[in-house]
Amino acid sequence: MKTEERTFVAIKPDGVKRGFIGKIIERFENKGFKIVAMKLLQVTPELASKHYAEHQGKPFYNRLVHYITSGPIVAMVIEGYEAIQSVRHIVGATDPQKADVGTIRADFAQVMEYNIIHASDSPESAAREIGLYFKPEEIYDNWQSMLEMITYDEERYNG
């Protein structure tokens, strides 16, 4: 049984500033995921405090807020089969030095504090983060990717 999920992904300011937007998006599209929402935005301190609410009071909290507000991000909603786990696998470990070769962080990030990208870690986080960055009408899920078209056409004709 297919488990379609949505997850939140953000290309962080260092990823945008270093010109990796296209290369990062390509990783998800090559895997067959569908981007159902995307925008370039400047994260405000207020939005950052909501996004990182679980880290408030921790020693690194202020650095997180400063970093995510230091330049524009690309926020996305990605949809597909077991998207949360699969996207996190593509993204790699938080510390790029410990990330598997071939992951986004291993390939593009240099230090943990500037690790290029964020991806939701659970269905609850995904729902909360998507709600922080996107209004329901900004999510476009009423189209089929070519992969879906091929799959569904095959099922329709042979099923």
The residues that are catalytic are: 118
Strands of the sheet with 72-81, listed across from one edge? 34-42, 72-81, 4-11, 117-119
Within 13 Å and on the Cβ side, how many CA atoms surround 77?
23
Contacts of 114 (CB under 8 A, 6+ apart): 12, 14, 67
Residue from 18, 117, 109, 48 nearest 76 by CA: 117
Q: Is 128 helix (H, G, I), strand (E, B) or coil?
A: helix
Strand spans (E) along the chain: 4-11, 34-42, 72-81, 117-119
Contact 5, 127 (CB under 8 A): no
Separation CA 114–CA 95 (nearest Å): 9
